[in-house]
A and B are shown apart, each in its own frame.
Chain A
Amino acid sequence: MKDRHKTMDRVAILAVMNSVLAKRGRAAISDEAQTTRAANFRSLDFSETALRIEMQIDRELAFDAASMRRIATVKDVIDFFETATRAP
């Protein structure tokens, strides 16, 4: 039986993002206020982060491209996943 209430805190989400960047040989995120472009965090990195979070919370995250387009900073990414993992 899947636990539908698993969530992730901001520290854990940032750790996942940094592990994705490390896999690509890129520098870790230094500041949440950085834009995703400045952090070199690309759309596929976002997708891989989502997949890794899905594995950790043991359920799929559903979101559309429009909600992703509003994301500009690292903080936006973390906010996004924090909210998404809280959703029922």
Chain B
Amino acid sequence: MHTTNQSIIVSGGSRGLGLHLGQQFLAAGNRVATFARSRTPAMDDLAAQYGDAFHFAALDAVDAVGVGKFVADVARKFGAIDSLVNNAAIGQDQLLMHTDPATIQNIVNVNVIGPTILSRAVIKRMILQGGGNICNISSICGSRGYAGLSVYAGSKGYLDAMMRALAREVGEAGIFVNSVAPGFFESEMSSVLLPEQLATIRRRTPSGQLSNDANIFNVVDLVISGTTNMQGQVVYVDGGITI
């Protein structure tokens, strides 16, 4: 473990990768705050297990006022916000021509608007604190082309581009901004792939295996540890499929 005794916001922490990140950071002695549209039993479990070291709010990621209040509440409860992990996202499995506008809007809202307004609110706190770490959970789709993922890919490319701009904007204030870009990993999002598709991905991956939550956590843990001097970078966790 590299990150301990930090106050960390993980967006979309009620399930999937976000839940795993939150659980691991809590187990390592950090304080974790997260939000999602609705409370899940896993949130009740973490609240029971970690008490005041855990904070959950039912919140829509595009509710700017609600996000601002959430960030203020976390800062008040934990005393500071050391790191932000922009994890919340929704996937896509449709060719663009078959994707209805409402779905496009929803992906843009959750994957683009959400992390933008959350980053904005957190950066204000970090500037006043004198530093912090922001880690976007991006994707190899942000820099490589995959059919059926156009809007999702665009949103991840946006995250990487915003990350680089923010690294320039706030780096001098001691805020480190980076992205971790998983390849296809064992998740709810990849569960829609057929066994033959997964076999093809494994065959094309030099490591021969999909990444998993633990692989991604290990890299995020390092990125937000404040020990690397890494700034404005995308770190690929993909078994080498993009090389």
CB atoms of A44 and B130 under 8 A apart: no
CB atoms of B128 and A44 under 8 A apart: no
Q: Please report B residues at the A interface, Cβ cutoff 8 Å.
A: 124, 127-128, 130, 170, 172-173
CB atoms of A51 and B127 under 8 A apart: yes
CB atoms of A48 and B127 under 8 A apart: yes
CB < 8 Å A-B pair total: 15
Q: Say whether A52 faces chain B, with CB atoms less than 8 Å apart.
A: yes
CB atoms of B172 and A47 under 8 A apart: no
CB atoms of B130 and A23 under 8 A apart: yes
* 8 sampled A-B residue pairs with Cβ under 8 A: A23-B130, A44-B127, A44-B170, A44-B172, A47-B127, A48-B128, A51-B124, A51-B128
Q: Report Cα–Cα, A52/B173, bound state, in Å.
A: 15
The closest CB in chain A to the CB of B173 belongs to: A44
Looking at the assembled complex, report how far the CB atom of B218 sits from the nearest CB atom of chain A, in whole angstroms.
Answer: 32
The closest CB in chain B to the CB of A52 belongs to: B128
Q: Say whether A42 faces chain B, with CB atoms less than 8 Å apart.
A: yes
Looking at the assembled complex, report how far the CB atom of B87 sits from the nearest CB atom of chain A, in whole angstroms.
Answer: 25
The closest CB in chain A to the CB of B128 belongs to: A51
Set of chain A residues within 8 Å of B124, measured between Cβ atoms: 51
Q: Report Cα–Cα, A44/B169, bound state, in Å.
A: 8
Set of chain B residues within 8 Å of A48, measured between Cβ atoms: 127-128, 173
Residue in A23, A42, A44, A55 whose Cβ sees the most chain B Cβ within 10 Å: A44
Q: Report Cα–Cα, A44/B131, bound state, in Å.
A: 12
Looking at the assembled complex, report how far the CB atom of B126 sits from the nearest CB atom of chain A, in whole angstroms.
Answer: 10
